[in-house]
Amino acid sequence: MRVLVTGGAGFIGSHLTDALLARGDEVSVIDDLSAGRMARLDERAVLHKLSVTDAVALNVVISSARPELICHLAAQIDVRASVAAPAVDARTNVVGTVNVLEAARLAGARVLFCSSGGALYGRDAPIPSLEDVLPLPESPYGVAKYCAEQYVGLYNRLHGTAHSSLRLANVYGPRQDPTGESGVITIFCARVLAGERPTIFGDGTQTRDYVYVGDVVAAFLAAADQGRPGTWNVGTGVEVSVLELASMIGDVAGRPADPKFAPMRPGELQRSAIAIERAERDLGWRAVTSLADGVRAAYRWIEEGAPDRAGY
């Protein structure tokens, strides 16, 4: 299959690109390299350096690459940056997605849109949250992802396409930037390895649903093989507190993580976990990597110097 991955030089996108190449697909990548790195890419992937906000350039690339499938992962992913500059976030995450949908329409490609499970459901959603819960995002990033999903659904109704949205929980694993703003597991691993104390914002009882990047890639491949449109949560359904995480990382490191505490950041949810039954039923997918194994893999990757081409 000819596949195009936007955001393919990023953390999740580069693993997805490797997996598509490994199954014999022809893969092109669109990435503006704002957060992505060329060095993460296999040499068989053709990189086009451009922004999804540039509709003209996007159309030129997509009409010449003629993908059958577009995995749309390019995004501004920093929730706090979205609060500081919501229009910038919307330009990339909403207008960029509309541009991808339009280019896909002209090329006759199907789109798998990478949405968020953690940023969509809001503080009153039952846990684990089902896909049917009315989203009440707490950030411009969450609103933008929800809005983009609405465009995905609209294109299916308007143009009879079979586009789908995957709502990812908190993804972690090798290649996730340990110096970034998100990605608590790699950030904590890096601190502990450097002999520093990781910072917990709040009292550490807040929970998240952590899903390993290898499992996320498997969900994309399963959704690629599923011809019908859908919206699927991609997580574990399990709530894990930040305190539990810190303790687990301490176990892997062989010494206590000894976290320090700072005030909770505004807009942060106390609890989050997403229901997994729909993806199990429709895609035959479920996460298979235990948190202990995934944390060990992330820790080992940082110990090895965080190489760009690390597998999972």
Ligand X SMILES: NC(=O)c1ccc[n+]([C@@H]2O[C@H](COP(=O)([O-])OP(=O)(O)OC[C@H]3O[C@@H](n4cnc5c(N)ncnc54)[C@H](O)[C@@H]3O)[C@@H](O)[C@H]2O)c1
* CA neighbours closer than 13 Å in the CB half-sphere of residue 133: 23
Identify the three-state secondary structure at position 295.
Answer: helix
| Secondary structure in 3-state letters for 217-250 | HHHHHHHHHCCCCCEEEECCCCCEEHHHHHHHHH
In angstroms, the CA 12 to CA 176 distance is: 8
Least gap, CB of 27 to ligand X (angstroms): 15
Q: By CB under 6 A, which span of 34-42, 63-71, 80-88, 124-132 interacts with ligand X?
A: 34-42
The DSSP H or E segment spanning 263 is: none
Contact status: 53 vs ligand X (CB under 6 A): yes
Least gap, CB of 26 to ligand X (angstroms): 20
Query: Which of 121, 141, 155, 210 is labelled catalytic?
Result: 141
In angstroms, the CA 117 to CA 167 distance is: 4
Least gap, CB of 10 to ligand X (angstroms): 2
In angstroms, the CA 186 to CA 254 distance is: 16
User: In the structure encoding, which two tokens stand for residue 19, read together?
Assistant: 């997996």
Known active-site residue 172: no
Q: Which of 17, 129, 10, 14 is nearest to 77 (CA)?
A: 10
Query: Considering only residues 82-101, where is the footprint of ligand X by CB under 6 A?
Result: 92, 96
Cis peptide before 128 (omega within 30 of 0): yes
* Per-residue interface string for the shown chain with ligand X, residues 112-141, x marking contact by CB under 6 A: --x-x-------------------------
Contact status: 233 vs ligand X (CB under 6 A): no
Among 5, 27, 67, 76, binds ligand X (CB under 6 A): 76
Q: By CB under 6 A, which span of 163-171, 217-225, 251-259, 285-293 interacts with ligand X?
A: 163-171
Least gap, CB of 273 to ligand X (angstroms): 13
Q: By CB under 6 A, which span of 17-25, 46-54, 99-107, 222-230 interacts with ligand X?
A: 46-54
Give the contacts of 164 (CB within 8 A, at least 6 positions apart).
111, 112, 113, 152, 223, 226, 229, 230, 231, 232
Contact status: 12 vs ligand X (CB under 6 A): yes
Least gap, CB of 154 to ligand X (angstroms): 19
Least gap, CB of 300 to ligand X (angstroms): 19
Contact status: 25 vs ligand X (CB under 6 A): no
Q: Which of 234, 236, 199, 197 is nearest to 219 (CA)?
A: 234
Length of the chain (residues): 312
Query: Considering only residues 169-198, where is the footprint of ligand X by CB under 6 A?
Result: 170-171
Number of residues interacting with ligand X: please give it, by CB under 6 A.
29
> Which residue pairs from 137-140 have beta carbons closer than 8 angstroms and sit at least 24 positions apart in sequence?
138/267, 138/269, 139/79, 139/82, 139/83, 139/267, 140/82, 140/83, 140/86, 140/89, 140/90
In angstroms, the CA 157 to CA 153 distance is: 6
Among 3, 19, 70, 75, binds ligand X (CB under 6 A): 75
Contact status: 16 vs ligand X (CB under 6 A): no
Whichever of 216 and 257 has its CB closer to ligand X, that residue is 216
Least gap, CB of 60 to ligand X (angstroms): 14
Contact status: 35 vs ligand X (CB under 6 A): yes
The set of catalytic residues is 141
Q: Which residues bind ligand X (CB under 6 A)?
A: 6-7, 9-13, 30-36, 51-53, 73-77, 92, 96, 114, 116, 168, 170-171
